[in-house]
């Protein structure tokens, strides 16, 4: 990275976390925060779409007919837990415990996989009941919003696996620490988005 070495913040100061020790890594983390802002706005647009269309059920089923309370409660519980274990991974990283960190990341990935499998089975049962993307505007908005989140989680699973491999190869360095930190930001972000999906889509859906 073309950084001006003459004025880079002095490196290796003890108070700075590992992932922030190099200026270029700090830049990437800052850049990723901005990316998360854009991604949040993308979800906001999809939420807006959903809130315009959720009454537009056409000839298809409404929220009450397709939402499965046990299913989405389980999904919520799993994803919230995974966010917690992901936080534990970062905590271990800051204490320099590589093995613990990798273990917590593996737990996070496994929780993510089970979340995605539950969501896919939910989608499959909806489709089996004839509630598809093509049925009505409500279902188009529902599948797109929840599906976009699901795609993000799937991407996160693959990503975290890749970081895990790199941690195994290179050990805990400022670079791998930065990568692990960024993927954890992403994971927590998806958790926040899910809380909105849980509230706006599922809770309001079954309450209406």
Partner 1 sequence: MMQKRTGTYTLIAALCATLFLLPGCGEQVLVFHPVGPVGQVEKQMIILSIVMVSIVVIPVIALLWVIVVRYRDTPDNPTPYRPEWSESRTLEFLWWAVPIVIIGVLGFVTVQKTFALVRPPGKVINPLTIQVTSLDWKWLFQYPGQKIATVNYCEIPANRPIEFVLTSNAPMNSFWVPQLGGQEYTMPGMAMKLWLEADQPGVYFGSGANFSGEGFSHMHFHVIARPQSDFDHWVQRIKSTAPPLTTQQYAVLAQRTIVQPMSFSTNQPGLFEKIVSQDGGMYMRRDLMKGKVNTHVGTD
Partner 2 sequence: MLYNVENFASHFFVLGDPLIYGADVSIVLVSLAIVFVLTYYKKWGWLWREWLTTVDHKKIGIMYMIAALLMLFRGGVDAILMRTQLIMPNMPFLKAQHYNEIFTTHGTIMILFMAMPFIFAMMNIAVPLQIGARDVAFPYLNAISFWLFFFAAMLLNLSFVIGGSPDAGWTSYAPLAGLTFDKGPGENYYLLALQITGIGSMATGINFFVTIMKMRAPGMTLMRMPLFTWSILAACIIIIFAFPPLTAALTLLLMDRLAGAHFFTIFDGGNPMMYVNMFWMWGHPEVYIVVLPAFGVFSEVVATFSKKRTFGYASMVASLIAIAVISFFTWVHHFFTMGAGPGVNSFFAVATMIIAIPTGVKVFNWLFTMYQGRIRTKLPMLWAIAFIPNFAIGGASGVMLAVAPADYQFHNSYFLVAHFHQVLIGGVVFGMLAGMYYWWPKMFGFMLNERLGRIAFWFFNIGFYVCFLPQYWLGWMGMTRRIYTYLPGMGWTFWNIISTFGAYLMGVGFVFIVLQILYSIRYGERDLTGDPWDGRTLEWSLPSPVPHYNFARIPEVTGRDAWWTMKEAKQKGEMQPELEPLKPIHMPNDSGRPFILSVLFFIFGFGMVFTWYPMAAVAFIGILLSLILRSFEYDTDHTLSVDEIRRTEAAYGRV
Chain residues in the site for partner 1 (CB under 8 A): 55-56, 58, 137
Rounded to a whole number of angstroms, the minimum distance from the CB of residue 115 to partner 1 is 33
Task: Check binding of 56 to partner 2 (CB under 8 A).
Answer: yes
**HEC letters along 92-114:** HHHCCCHHHHHHHHHHHHHHHHH
Confirm or reject binding of residue 39 to partner 2 (CB under 8 A). Answer: yes
Q: Which stretch, 27-35, 75-83, 87-95, 185-193, contacts partner 2 (CB under 8 A)?
A: 27-35
Stretch that binds partner 2, among 58-66, 68-76, 78-86, 92-100 (CB under 8 A): 58-66
Partner from partner 2, partner 1, none contacting 9, C-beta within 5 to 8 A by type: none
Partner from partner 1, partner 2, none binding residue 38, C-beta < 5-8 Å depending on class:
partner 2
Burial of 184 (0-12, 13-18, 19+ CB in 10 A): buried
Per CB under 8 A, contacts with partner 2 among 83-112 are: none
Which residue among 16, 17, 49, 81 contacts partner 2 (CB under 8 A)? 49
Task: Kindly state the smallest distance separating residue 112's Cβ from partner 2, in Å.
Answer: 18
C-alpha to C-alpha distance for 148 and 151, rounded to whole angstroms: 5
- Please give the helix or strand (H or E) that residue 21 lies within, else none: none
Q: Record the tokens describing residue 138, joined without a space.
A: 């409500």
120 binds, among partner 1, partner 2, none (CB under 5 to 8 A by kind): none
Contact assessment for residue 56 and residue 150, using Cβ atoms and an 8 Å cutoff: no
Distance of CA 22 to the CA centre of its chain: 26
Longest dimension (CA), the chain: 67
Task: Check residue 170 for interaction with partner 2 (CB under 8 A).
Answer: yes
d(CA 143, CA 127): 11
Residue environment code for 20-39, b if the CB has 16+ CB neighbours within 10 A, otherwise e? bbbbebbebeeebeeebeeb
Q: Are 149 and 197 in contact (CB under 8 A)?
A: yes
Residue 151 partner contact from partner 2, partner 1, none using kind-dependent CB cut-offs of 5 to 8 Å? none
| Residues making contact with partner 2 (CB under 8 A) | 1-7, 26-28, 30-31, 34-35, 37-39, 41-42, 44-46, 49, 52-53, 56-60, 133-138, 140-141, 143-144, 159, 162-163, 166, 170, 175, 179
């Amino acid at each position: 990275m073309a950084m001006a070495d003459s004025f880079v913040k002095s490196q290796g100061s003890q108070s700075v976390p590992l992932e922030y020790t190099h200026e270029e890594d700090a830049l990437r983390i800052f850049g990723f925060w901005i990316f998360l802002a854009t991604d949040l706005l993308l979800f906001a647009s999809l939420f807006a779409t959903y809130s315009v269309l959720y009454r537009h059920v056409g000839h298809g089923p409404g929220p009450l007919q397709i939402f499965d309370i046990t299913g989405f409660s389980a999904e919520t519980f799993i994803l919230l837990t995974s966010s917690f274990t992901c936080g534990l991974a970062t905590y271990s990283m800051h204490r320099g415990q590589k093995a613990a960190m990798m273990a917590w990341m593996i737990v996070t990935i496994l929780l993510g996989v089970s979340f995605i499998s539950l969501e896919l089975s939910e989608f499959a049962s909806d489709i089996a009941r004839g509630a598809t993307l093509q049925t009505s505007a409500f279902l188009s908005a529902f599948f797109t919003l929840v599906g976009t989140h699901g795609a993000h989680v799937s991407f996160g699973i693959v990503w975290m696996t890749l970081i895990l491999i790199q941690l195994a190869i290179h050990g805990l360095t400022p670079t791998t620490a930065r990568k692990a930190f960024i993927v954890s930001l992403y994971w927590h972000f998806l958790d926040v988005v899910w809380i909105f999906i849980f509230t706006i889509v599922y809770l309001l859906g079954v309450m209406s």
